[in-house]
């Protein structure tokens, strides 16, 4: 058994010469990355809440293509959770996350405790304009203030050249781009496509909470988005939107929140002058809130 373990570890070492370096403190990470940067390495950053799946790993793969060093953060950020129960039950399988990052060849993991990131009573407010109250903003009050607060801190620590975010959280990408523009942060954002299960469900850390029945009902979201994409030229947007809404509302076990065909640049309701359309949906399936979207043109 001892020999087997030794062999196993040696094989892992050979397969993964770039060992994952794990940091839990800002100071040590800043020092380490400062050194790399002074040697001319570019840094690609993938911030996450953990419970990693192929969607997260696809962001990492893109980061690896475009950067010399890849940094992934796993931090379940309390300030972006508007529902304390959601925060409490958010999955935190750190050991298997580390294994996934090692296997994927990630260079650095930043995995701080809450106390390392927040100092008690700090205030944060960023003017993100209408994105604050539209769609996700409306259903999750304060969510984007928490997201910008933590992403600003993470950018300040990691100082990435490129930061990778998923189209899965389309509104989040617009919000963070707005923060980057407002504060003139020296980072370029890269939006990566949505990874899906073979039946179409968008991958999400929250999917593990779906019961077998929820899992079947959840497919109505991606099916409706696909239907819209295929039928986009067949009717006017308000009529199509109504049809999509009723498809979702007709599905048992699904609590509809919103379905919107929007302008991809600002998430205003699409109109005649809209050039890039994106359809976005949110619903609760059983007790699990899911979001999804599709870029139509
Ligand atoms: P999260 O851990 O949910 O905050 O997600 C971390 C990053 O992974 C965000 O930029 C998400 O948009 C992205 N992401 C989540 N799910 C997917 C997916 N199915 N495909 C691609 N990216 C995703």
For ligand 1, residues with CB inside 6 Å are: 48-49, 55-56, 58-59, 165-166, 168-169, 192, 194-195, 202-205
Output the pTM of the full model.
0.94
Q: Dihedral, CA atoms, 143, 95, 166, 126, nearest 10 degrees?
A: 30
Taking CA atoms, 130 is separated from 209, 229, 274, 282, in Å, by 31, 26, 17, 18
Ligand 1 atom with minimal separation from the 50 CA: 2
pLDDT per residue of the chain (297 residues) written in tens, 0 to 9: 445 454 544 554 555 557 999 999 999 999 999 999 999 999 999 999 999 999 999 999 999 999 999 999 999 999 999 999 999 999 999 999 999 999 999 999 999 999 999 998 899 999 999 999 999 999 999 999 999 999 999 999 999 999 999 999 999 999 999 999 999 999 999 999 999 999 999 999 999 999 999 999 999 999 999 999 999 999 999 999 999 999 999 999 999 999 999 999 999 999 888 999 999 999 999 999 999 999 998
Instruction: Convert 80-133 into a string of H (helix), E (strand) and C (coil).
Output: HCCCHHHHHHCCCCHHHHHHHHHHHCCCEEECCCHHHHCCCCCCCCCCCHHHHC
Residue whose CA lies nearest to ligand 1 atom number 11: 166
Active site residue 53: no
- Total residue length of the chain: 297
């Amino acid at each position: 058994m001892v020999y087997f373990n030794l062999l196993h570890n040696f094989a892992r070492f050979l397969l993964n010469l770039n060992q994952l370096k794990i940091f839990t403190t800002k100071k040590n990470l800043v020092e380490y990355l400062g050194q790399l940067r002074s040697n001319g390495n570019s840094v690609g950053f993938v911030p996450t809440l953990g419970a990693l799946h192929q969607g997260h790993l696809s962001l990492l793969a893109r980061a690896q293509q475009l950067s010399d060093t890849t940094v992934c953060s796993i931090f379940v950020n309390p300030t972006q959770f508007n529902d304390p129960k959601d925060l409490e039950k958010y999955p935190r399988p750190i050991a298997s996350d580390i294994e996934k990052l090692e296997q994927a060849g990630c260079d650095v993991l930043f995995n701080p405790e809450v106390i390392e990131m927040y100092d008690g009573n700090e205030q944060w407010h960023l003017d993100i304009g209408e994105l604050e109250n539209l769609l996700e903003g409306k259903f999750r009050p304060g969510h984007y203030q928490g997201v910008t607060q933590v992403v600003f801190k993470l950018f300040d620590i990691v100082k990435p050249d490129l930061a990778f975010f998923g189209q899965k959280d389309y509104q989040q990408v617009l919000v963070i781009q707005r923060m980057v523009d407002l504060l003139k942060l020296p980072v370029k954002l890269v939006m990566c496509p949505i990874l899906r299960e073979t039946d179409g469900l968008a991958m999400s850390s929250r999917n593990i909470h779906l019961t077998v029945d929820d899992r079947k009902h959840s497919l109505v979201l991606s099916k409706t988005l696909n239907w819209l994409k295929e039928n986009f030229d067949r009717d006017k947007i308000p009529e199509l939107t109504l049809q999509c809404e009723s498809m979702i509302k007709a599905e048992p076990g699904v609590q509809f929140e919103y379905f919107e065909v929007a302008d991809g640049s600002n998430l205003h309701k699409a109109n005649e002058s809209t050039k890039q359309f994106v359809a976005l949906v949110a619903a609760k399936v059983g007790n699990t809130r899911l979001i999804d979207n599709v870029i139509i043109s």
